Amino acid sequence: MALHRFSVGQQVRMTGWRRQSAGPAETFRVVATLPERNDLLQYRIRSDNERHERVTTEDNLENADTASFWKSA
């Protein structure tokens, strides 16, 4: 069984996710770790700016502390 790279409560950013504007990248909080799907670990994440949660795979996330603050459009 693989270990999750991110833990519940950790701040992350989605890689390859583009906002409508060229502003700062959205920060999400890991709400839950989920089982693997197609050999990829999954997470439930949430932004304080949204009312819903998202499910994404580990390869789509990066640590918010080491992520670049500005994303290119």
- Write out pLDDT tens, residues 22-54: 456 789 999 999 999 999 999 999 998 889 999
Higher-pLDDT residue of 1, 52:
52
Question: Looking at this protein, which amino acid is placed at residue 12?
Answer: V
Mean pLDDT calculated for residue range 50-72: 80
Q: pTM of the prediction?
A: 0.77
Q: Is residue 34 part of a domain?
A: yes
Give the DSSP letter of residue 47: -
Number of domains the chain contains? 1
Identify whether 3 is part of a domain: no
Instruction: Give the domain extent around 23.
Output: 11-63
- Adjacent-strand bridge partners of 62: 13
Q: Which residue has the tokens 């700062």?
A: 24
